[in-house]
Structure 1
Amino acid sequence: MKFRTIFSFVLGGMVMTAFAQGGYQDGVDYYNAERFDKAKTILEKTLNDPSTKKAVSYFYLGSLELDNNNVAAASENFNKGVQADPAYGYNYVGLGQIALKNGNKKDAENYFKQALEGNKKDASVMAAIARAYFNVDPTLYAKEIEKNIANAMKVSKNKEAQVYVLQGDMAKASDIGQAAGFYEQAMVYDEQAGNVNPEAYVKYANLYNKVNPDFAIGKLVELNEKLPTSALAQSELAEKYYDGNQFTKAAEQYGKYIKNPNHFQGDEQRYSGLLYFGKKYQESLDVANQVLAADPNNEYMQRMVMLNKAALKDFAGAEEAAQKLFSHANAKFTATDYSTYGDILGELGRPQEAIEAYVKAYEMNPEKNKQMLAEISSMYNDLENDQKAVEYMQKFVDAGDATLNDYFILSNRYKNLGLSLPEGSPERAEAANNGIKNIDLAIEGAANKGPLYRNKATLLMIRDGAENTTPELIDTYKAMIAAYDEDPANKEKYADAYKMAYTRMGSYYMQQGDNAQAREYFQKVLEMDPENAPVKEVMKKL
């Protein structure tokens, strides 16, 4: 099972649902960091909180609508923001951006003047005006952007953080190093003013994440130390750990983040998945059940319940979760879903159903799930369906990457099939020959060849008849004994194999009229089993 593959199915149903109203500022931060879906959810959830500055929330809700070209909805939100607090200039900036978008530059300029009434020395509003021009057309309004940036710098004595964030945004498409420098200046100047700028930290980390992920993570660790309750800071660090395949740290960070009131259901889903892959099955199960308590039909968490209960060996509970998972008619299932379900059914003593699940798992990704063919063969073998056991083991070997042990197993499958077919039939001979072919492949590279030669002898007798002792059978027994003799302990360990071979060889040479050779092998039997009455009787005749 590949981590990323299954994880995509854990997170596939990620919904933008914040669990509680933990402060509108998280929504503002998410918007500024360009995490727009999360921003919208939090801003809407917290709009009527007593602590919410509605003028601020309406501005960001309007900006979200404007980003999506919903001009009417954007205008409505900006106007509500003006009504909530006429002194908060940003909503006029939003209305000005709409006017610019509609080609009404004069109207836009009037709105921008209104934004600065009472805020004539507010460099952050000037930066917002410059951003409005930039958002509409950075080429057409290059002079206006430059003018407002210059005014903001003059008023703030070159210390307005929002100007540097804007400049970073403007530069990042063409010069990442320059953009990083601007974001760094935003961090420095905001902290000199006693503030922390999470937007600048996150954008800075995102620039470096692909080229130097450890550095990016370090910056976000720093942000978390400075803003320990920020949902944005917590979630960004968790995601960067995850993106960097640092899954243990990611799980730890998600564990902290989901305690934040402004986390999302999708975060809980990811946390459950991380705990599962960290083999913390009960903890993962607890989180999955927590999600299901609020969202009972969440197929992704039903999957996690199935996986965790299977890992905890609660197979009845895992089967119940599997039934719920597979009841989703339009869901997209994974090969792991079916292979796990097969494991569960096998443990519950339902092998035929388990086989059906394994076959589905294999068919979904034949190249990656070749091993599933061997498992299917094994289950058919347990069911004594020798034909199917051979069919699937042969498919597995033919798929490539077979080991010596796989050839040995396949030879045994053919042996069982041969024994099930009528003696003397062409089908029985064919099965035995296929078994011999595979045991020979195994013998070629095996270190301990004795047991393999013993199996080959059995296959020869299946092919040629139990009563027929051929020279090939005798040669095989001789090779078996020579292989066993390499370790003196084998004489006792494989005593039955030795006695069978010596008896068969004695009988063969007696039939050939070579009594001396026959006596030699029968004597070997008596050395191992002095009270063997049939052999003693033969020796008297000889």
Structure 2
Amino acid sequence: MKIRFLSAICFSFLLSASLYAQEPLSSDLTQQIEKIAAQIKDNPDAAEDGFNELLKGKNKKNASLLAAIGKAYLDNGKTDIAKEYAEDARKADSKNGASYVLNGDIALSVKDVGTACGYYEQAILFDENCFEAYYKYANAYIGVNPQLSVNMLLKLKEKHPDELRVDRELANAYYQMGSYSKAKQVFDEYMKKGQPDVQDYSRYSMLLYLNKDYAQSLEMVNKGLSMEADNHLLKRLKMYDLYETKAYAEGIQASDVFFADPSNPDYVYMDYLYRARLYAANNEIDKAMVEFDKAMKADDANVHPEIAKEASEAMQKVQNYPEAIRLYKQYLDEMKDKAEVTDLFMFGRLYYMAAGALSAAAADTTQAEAPVVAAVDTIQMKAYLIEADTIFAQVAERVPNNYLGNFWRARTNAMLDPETTQGLAKPYYEKALAVLEQNPKASKNILIECESYLGYYYFVKEEYEQSKVYWEKILAIDPENATAKQALEGLQP
């Protein structure tokens, strides 16, 4: 989703307005057409007279000129007149590609892509050097069937290997297909051989960013900004790339430059999200939360659950667990049925960590405050632990062959029963251990934690022989384990 969104705001490969094939019209004629075309809307009669004057004498049968005039009318919304000129151009020279290109443009103006591309193919059939037809065909299909765009551009590249601009359009087609590495590869060629402008640096740096080549993207961004310091896209990418390369302080400075105009309508949710990330990474959490909130409100048409999740992580960083829990619940609500079991597990851990923080705070409370604070904290801590246990139970149910659900239920219940008088954690450590013992690569530390609890549980219950079983299992894993050695010594008759 993120990538597609970025494509809309940052990476729009548009066809150049100039024609790439040999220009059949002189620069003088082209200038005259442009001058007359400027009158089409406000003074159509004068425009008609002007064009008729151009078409006198030897120009009367000039198919390229007729097509160019038709294009001028099409660009000004005069489709019917454009059609007349397209037909006149075809009659003047049925093998001139210009009339077919104009007919294709007319069809494309009413979104008839199939008909338009049929005309562009006819233009290529009559004139394989009609570069404009290749590019317009490719551009027409880019959002419909990008593979057809690629095929046409590769055909052009094969016939005209020195036509450098084809790489720019190929990059766009590959990008639309999701082939970012291929898009980067062909644009690499253009950047090496061509004469890139600011737009090229913008496109290339965006491709590099999407390909996760953040350092190289930043290098291209800086080259582009040296040519146009106020380029909005490049300033955006600089902020993004600096975050991705962990240059957080510099990234915040870049974000200040990017957000210098608060009334700019081109800010999008990703901009605020990256600024929030920069602040959070720089331990400026209060500022980060302001930006997270802006990011959540910036896109009314879509929901972006990752924002709430990242905001929750920022709150965890400063141990504001109530707010972290609220934001994580928002994330899960927004994810709906797309939430994975790992998301549920992390939610349970949040409640567990919140209880642990209260436990630690209670231990640090002064004696004068202790009675009131301890009572409040004990109630809240128990509530957190009960919620954690409920969530970990769901994890265990969804992935019964994984130890994590029961293991964290065990830890949670151990905190609810710190003296092990009730043995609340026992069944869950046993279940976790049963799964772990089937895995030869299981963590030794986790195995030892399970066995230590069970060894201690049976010791408290004065079932010493059973207690020995678990301490001996620990020594089999870790022969130098001091706790197990001490426990076994204490169990000697």
- TM-score for the superposition, normalised by structure 2: 0.71
1:439 lines up with 2:392 in the alignment: yes
Instruction: Give the alignment partner of residue 469 of structure 1, picking from 421, 428, 433.
Output: 421
Structure-2 change in CA distance of 1:232 and 1:438 (3 Å) = closer
Equivalent runs, 1:392-471 vs 2, <5 Å: 392-399=327-334, 400=336, 401-403=339-341, 405-419=345-359, 420=361, 422-424=373-375, 425-444=378-397, 445-446=399-400, 447-448=402-403, 451-461=407-417, 466-467=418-419, 469-470=421-422
Other-structure match for 1:3: 3
Deviation string for 1:182-241 (max 9, x for gaps)? 5445444446xxxx3333333444555566543443333444555667687565444444
- 1:469 alignment partner, SS class: coil
Asked if 1 retains the 8 angstrom alpha-carbon contact of 2:458 and 2:466, the reply is: yes
Q: What is the CA-CA distance between 1:162 and the residue it aligns to?
A: 3.7
- Post-superposition Cα deviations, 1:387-418, rounded to whole Å, max 9, x if no partner, equal 33443344444554152532541342343255
Equivalent position of 1:283 in the other structure:
216
Question: Which of 257, 265, 268 is equivalent to 1:334?
Answer: 268
1:55 is matched with 28
> How far off is 1:455 after superposition?
0.6
Could you tell me how far apart the structure 1 residues matched to 2:55 and 2:79 are? 21
Question: Which structure exhibits the higher relative contact order, with contacts defined as CA atoms closer than 8 Å and separated by 6 or more residues?
Answer: 1
How much has 1:259 moved relative to structure 2? Answer: 7.3
Identity of aligned residues (%): 22
| 1:133–1:144 contact (8 Å) kept in structure 2 | no
| AA partner of residue 460 (structure 1) | L
The match for 2:305 is 370
Distance change >3 Å, CA 493–CA 342, structure 1 → 2: same
Question: Structure 1's 323 and 469: CA in aligned 2 closer, same or farther, altered over 3 A?
Answer: same
For residues 365 and 266 of structure 1, the distance between their equivalents in structure 2, rounded to whole angstroms, comes to 26
TM-fit CA distance, 1:289: 1.0
Q: Look up the match of 1:248.
A: 181
Separation (CA, whole Å) in 2 of partners of 1:480 and 1:532: 23
Kindly provide the amino acid, as one letter, of the partner of residue 209 in structure 2.
Answer: Y
2:55 match: secondary structure: helix
Distance, in Å, in 2 between the alignment partners of 1:114 and 1:491 is: 89
Deviations 1:338-379 (A, max 9, x none): 443344344434445445544544555697543444444444
2:352 partner letter: N
Q: Which residue of 2 aligns with 1:23?
A: none
Write the distance in 2 (CA, Å) between the matches of 1:222 and 1:504. Answer: 76
1:99 matches 2:36: no
User: Which structure 2 segments of 5+ residues have no match?
Assistant: 363-372, 476-483
Q: Contact 2:273–2:291 (CA<8 Å) still a contact in 1?
A: yes
Distance of 2:386 and 2:305 partners within structure 1: 25
SS of the residue 2:38 aligns to: helix
**Using a 3 Å threshold, how does the CA distance of structure 1 residues 136 and 411 change in structure 2: closer, same or farther?**
closer
Cα distance in structure 2, aligned partners of 1:138 and 1:476: 76
With over 3 angstroms needed to count, the CA separation of the structure-2 counterparts of 1:520 and 1:372, relative to structure 1, is: farther
CA distance in 2: counterparts of 1:129 and 1:373, whole angstroms: 55
Q: Distance in 2 between matches of 1:170 and 1:417?
A: 68
Contact 2:413 2:425 in 1 (8 A): yes
Structure 1 Cα separation of the partners of residues 33 and 237 of structure 2: 36
RMSD of aligned alpha carbons? 4.8
Find the partner of 1:273 among 206, 210, 218. 206
Post-superposition shift, 1:130? 7.4
Q: Deviation per CA, 1:308-345, whole angstroms, max 9, x where unpaired?
A: 23333333332322232233312343343344334434
The 1:200/1:459 distance shift into structure 2, 3 A limit, reads: same
2:282 corresponding residue in structure 1: 348
Q: Secondary structure at the match of 1:279?
A: coil
CA distance in 2, matches of 1:315, 1:500: 44
Aligned equivalents of 1:347, 1:394: Cα separation in 2: 23
CA distance 1:261–1:418, shift in 2 (3 Å): closer
Name the SS of the counterpart of 1:305 in structure 2.
helix
Matching residue within 298, 303, 306 for 2:231: 298
Of structures 1 and 2, the larger Rg is shown by: 1
Displacement after TM superposition at 1:492 (Å): 7.8
Distance 1:256 1:526 in 2: 66
Aligned to 1:200, the other structure's residue is in SS state helix
Partner of 2:319: 384
Kindly tell me: are residues 359 and 534 of structure 1, through their superposed partners in 2, closer, same or farther at Cα, counting changes over 3 Å? farther
Residue identity opposite 2:46 in structure 1: A
Matched, 1:311 2:256: no
> How far off is 1:274 after superposition?
0.7
Query: Aligned ranges for residues 472-511 of structure 1 at < 5 Å?
Result: 472=424, 494-495=447-448, 497-507=450-460, 509=461
Any gaps of 5 or more consecutive residues in structure 1?
A: 19-25, 33-51, 72-96, 102-106, 510-516
- 8 Å contact 2:238–2:251 — kept in the other structure? yes
Taking structure 1 as the reference length, what is the TM-score of the superposition? 0.66
